[in-house]
Amino acid sequence: MQPRDNKRARLLPSATLDTLDNDLLIRCASYLDADGLAQLGRTSARFGIPQAGQRRSLVNGAAHQLFRQSATDEERKCLPKYVDESDVGLCRALEQLRQPLRFDELVGNGFGRQEHPARVTCKEDRHGWSTAMSGHVMRGGRHFVEFVFANAEQGSLNIFAGVIRPVSLTNDMDVEADWKGDVHPIDVSSRFQPAVADKVRSQRTAEWGGSNVNCCAYDCLTGECFWTDWNNERDSHEWQGQEVLEGSGTAGLLLDLNEGTLSVFMNGRRLGVTKDGLGGEYCWFVSVWEARTISMSRGRAPN
């Protein structure tokens, strides 16, 4: 092939695309995932910017069609669309909703080497509390998770399991200098660890909503519910159905953002609602003090 032929070959794909109508292009683009759609939108103004008379860009039109055709009723309830959110962004959230849960942020001195993304192990020689967070953000609907606690002798579990705002516990924070070696977000307040309290509250977004429940957890050791707004000191209360989880076992948590409640299950048995008044975005987390292996998995929300 001569140099002139090479130049002509490079021009052909673009010229061919220009001859296709938008409906056909949207149909073709709908076979891409969210990242592919985002990349396509950056290649040309025709794909990434709404044209005259159009509500959506071509890639957002494809993403809108993809979400409408593939999302179930339950998934739609879990993903209310934000006012300033693109259709591509909503499709990305749908993809994340369908992926297995994993611990994306491990903070503290107690964790050993992570050999599986959905499992963490706290070592024998731990010092203070360590916390593991999921990066999956829950914004609406009902979400159920099971934490399996294993590799320990029978006895009480010094572990908290619950929900936390989608914040980073490491951004501009040092385990020793800021956390003092004790990474336990339920204990953070303006009186205790004020520097950390300021840094986590500064990450607030409009998507947190009006609820002041920024961190809420079931205490396996006492069965109590603890929660905090990261300003005042943590609050705790007993609740109907409260039980202590001892030895190895499974704690299930149901976050119902339709009702604004957090419910606890023990080894598959429902105990009851441990806290109400929740709203906005949350992630799953566990804080652990003792030698223990903890696994996390998403389950189908019980009726």
Query: Read out DSSP for 33-61?
Result: -HHHHHHHHHH-HHHHSPPTT-SS-HHHH
What pairing do the DSSP bridges indicate for beta strands 159-164 and 225-228? unpaired
Are residues 83 and 119 both part of a single domain?
A: no
Report pLDDT digits (tens) over 181-208: 999 999 999 999 999 999 999 999 999 9
Are residues 136 and 171 both part of a single domain?
A: yes
What pairing do the DSSP bridges indicate for beta strands 103-107 and 283-288? unpaired
What is the structure's pLDDT at 54?
A: 72
Q: How many CA atoms lie within 13 A of 56 on its CB side?
A: 16
Are residues 163 and 287 both part of a single domain?
A: yes
Q: What is the chain's alpha carbon radius of gyration, rounded to the nearest angstrom? A: 23
Report pLDDT digits (tens) over 127-157: 789 999 999 999 999 999 999 998 756 566 8
Look at residues 97, 118, 151 and tell me which one is the last residue of a structural domain: 97
Q: Judge whether 120 and 132 are in contact, CB under 8 Å.
A: yes
Are residues 161 and 291 both part of a single domain?
A: yes
Are residues 35 and 107 both part of a single domain?
A: no
Residue 1 in tokens = 């092939």
Are residues 27 and 120 both part of a single domain?
A: no
Q: What is the rounded CA–CA span in Å between residue 255 and residue 276?
A: 10
Q: Judge whether 250 and 146 are in contact, CB under 8 Å.
A: yes
Are residues 47 and 172 both part of a single domain?
A: no
Q: Which residues pair with 252 in a beta bridge?
A: 146, 265
Are residues 93 and 137 both part of a single domain?
A: no
Look at residues 81, 97, 113 and tell me which one is the last residue of a structural domain: 97
Contacts 24+ apart (CB under 8 A), 173-180: 173/199, 175/107, 175/108, 175/109, 179/107, 179/108, 180/128
Compute φ and ψ for 164, nearest 5 degrees: -145, 150
**Which of the two residues, 10 and 252, has the higher pLDDT score?**
252
Are residues 147 and 271 both part of a single domain?
A: yes
Report pLDDT digits (tens) over 8-66: 444 434 445 555 566 777 777 778 899 999 998 888 888 888 877 678 888 999 999 99
Are residues 36 and 117 both part of a single domain?
A: no
Q: Judge whether 165 and 227 are in contact, CB under 8 Å.
A: no
Look at residues 97, 129, 158 and tell me which one is the last residue of a structural domain: 97
The range of the structural domain enclosing residue 48 comes to: 3-97
Q: Judge whether 47 and 40 are in contact, CB under 8 Å.
A: yes
pTM above 0.85, yes or no: yes
**Which of the two residues, 302 and 254, has the higher pLDDT score?**
254
The number of domains in the chain is 2
Are residues 51 and 189 both part of a single domain?
A: no
Q: Which residues pair with 264 in a beta bridge?
A: 253, 272
Are residues 27 and 166 both part of a single domain?
A: no
